[in-house]
């Protein structure tokens, strides 16, 4: 078995089609097919099968693709053994994040790395459903992702480094009838009109849970994913919204206030996802350490009132 063959199989497992693998590896689909065919000659069990017009992996193929990860890790460790002696922290590191994490972390991260001896970051934001975050590690070194408490864990094909746990608060106008309460019971929200995220995104599920605890069904009027836009709608309409405590920025909406729920376990995990071999790079570890420090600062920041 050759590394190129194993890499082609692993990429097929992650990207789902020969065309996508070819585009990522800058080769032709025929070349990818030849690599996988050559690998098949070393295997007694079928590695792929035809699923309509698509080439998909069998259980044996997925097992070998998972083993290919260990090969990549070993290769990265061998390469970094030399780089480690030089303590090389330079080089570009790509970081992807969902919108509110990017708003809270990207600016401080650029400031923290403003030194020629520090890694050079390349930043991207993505607004995707929870299950789509792991796939982003195929094209980005670090991916800031979020998932609700009680949701399925991230797949074993990626490494997940915890960044912070973020409670979910209720955003409302300061003149709202519930604004004087120190914490909000789910039952208090009966009859309220919500601004929530689009269907399939994590916070929608949280609102359903909160409404269920309170014994009613959430009445959703507006669906907006970007929290700054949602804040403007809450300010204008008198609706309420569920917003994360540490990454929500209400500085441009002083008429709004966040009030905690009486159920502190209702929140989301923010994790940093990466391919396992990527975390063997010194510059990636450096950027991840800065992200963790920035996240700690968000937690310790005095709450706005």
Supply the pLDDT for residue 273: 98
Q: Which two tokens stand for residue 4?
A: 């190129």
The model's pLDDT over 144-192, given as tens digits with 9 standing for 90+, comes to: 999 988 888 999 999 999 999 999 899 999 999 999 999 998 888 888 8
Q: Work out the average pLDDT over 229-245.
A: 92
Taking alpha carbons only, the member of 265, 244, 242 closest to residue 150 is 265
Distance CA 305, CA 294 (A): 22
Going by pLDDT thresholds of 50, 70 and 90, the confidence category of residue 302 is low
- The percent of residues in the chain predicted with pLDDT above 70, rounded, is 95
Between 83 and 116, the more confident residue is 116
Q: All domains of the chain, ordered by start, with CATH?
A: 3-85 (1.10.10.10), 87-164+268-300 (3.40.190.10), 165-267 (3.40.190.10)
Q: Tally Cβ neighbours within 10 Å of residue 236.
A: 10
Distance of CA 186 to the CA centre of its chain: 28
Supply the pLDDT for residue 189: 87
Buried b (16+ CB within 10 A) or exposed e, 39-69: bbeeeeeebbeeeeeebebeeebbebbeebb
Place of tokens 């009132």: 305
Q: Contact, 86 vs 113, CB < 8 A?
A: no
- What is the DSSP pairing of strand 159-173 with strand 193-196? unpaired
Place of tokens 């890694």: 119
Distance CA 287, CA 121 (A): 8
Q: Which two tokens stand for residue 239?
A: 């609706």
Q: Contact, 282 vs 83, CB < 8 A?
A: yes
The model's pLDDT over 14-66, given as tens digits with 9 standing for 90+, comes to: 999 999 999 999 999 999 999 999 999 988 899 999 988 889 999 999 999 99
Q: Which two tokens stand for residue 120?
A: 């050079």
Supply the pLDDT for residue 48: 92
SS3 170: strand
The model's pLDDT over 282-295, given as tens digits with 9 standing for 90+, comes to: 899 999 999 999 99
| Mean pLDDT computed over every residue of the chain | 88
Q: What are phi and psi of 224, to 5 degrees?
A: -140, 125
Between 77 and 122, the more confident residue is 122
The model's pLDDT over 91-141, given as tens digits with 9 standing for 90+, comes to: 889 999 999 899 999 999 999 999 888 899 999 999 888 889 999 999 999
Going by pLDDT thresholds of 50, 70 and 90, the confidence category of residue 85 is very low
Q: What is the pTM of this model?
A: 0.73
Q: Work out the average pLDDT over 184-213.
A: 83
Dihedral (CA of 9, 12, 14, 19) sign: positive
Q: Is the pLDDT of residue 304 over 60?
A: no
Distance CA 177, CA 187 (A): 14
Place of tokens 């915890």: 162
């Amino acid at each position: 078995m050759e590394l190129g063959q194993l890499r082609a199989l692993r990429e097929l497992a992650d990207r789902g089609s020969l065309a996508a693998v070819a585009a990522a590896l800058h080769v032709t689909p025929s070349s990818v097919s030849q690599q996988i065919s050559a690998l098949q000659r070393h295997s007694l069990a079928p590695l792929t099968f035809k699923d309509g017009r698509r080439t998909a992996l069998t259980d044996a193929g997925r097992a070998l693709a998972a083993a290919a990860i260990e090969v990549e890790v070993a290769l990265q460790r061998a390469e970094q053994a030399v780089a480690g002696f030089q303590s090389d922290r330079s080089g570009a590191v790509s970081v992807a994040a969902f919108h509110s994490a990017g708003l809270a972390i990207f600016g401080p991260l650029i400031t923290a790395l403003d030194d020629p001896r520090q890694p050079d970051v390349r930043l991207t934001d993505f607004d995707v459903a929870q299950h789509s975050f792991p796939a982003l590690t195929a094209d980005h070194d670090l991916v800031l992702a979020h998932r609700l408490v009680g949701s399925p864990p991230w797949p074993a094909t990626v490494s997940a480094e915890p960044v912070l746990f973020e409670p979910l608060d209720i955003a409302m106008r300061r003149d709202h009838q519930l604004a004087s309460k120190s914490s909000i019971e789910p039952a208090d929200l009966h009859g309220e009109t919500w601004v929530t995220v689009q269907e399939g995104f994590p916070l929608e599920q949280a609102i359903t849970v909160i409404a269920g605890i309170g014994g009613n069904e959430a009445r959703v009027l507006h669906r907006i994913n970007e929290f700054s836009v949602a804040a403007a709608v809450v300010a204008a309409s008198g609706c309420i919204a569920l917003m994360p405590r540490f990454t929500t920025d209400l500085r441009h909406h002083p008429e709004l206030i966040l009030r905690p729920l009486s159920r502190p376990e209702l929140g989301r995990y923010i994790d940093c996802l990466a391919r396992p071999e990527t975390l063997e790079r010194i510059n990636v570890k450096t950027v991840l350490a800065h992200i963790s420090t920035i996240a700690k600062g968000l937690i310790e920041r005095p709450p706005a009132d």
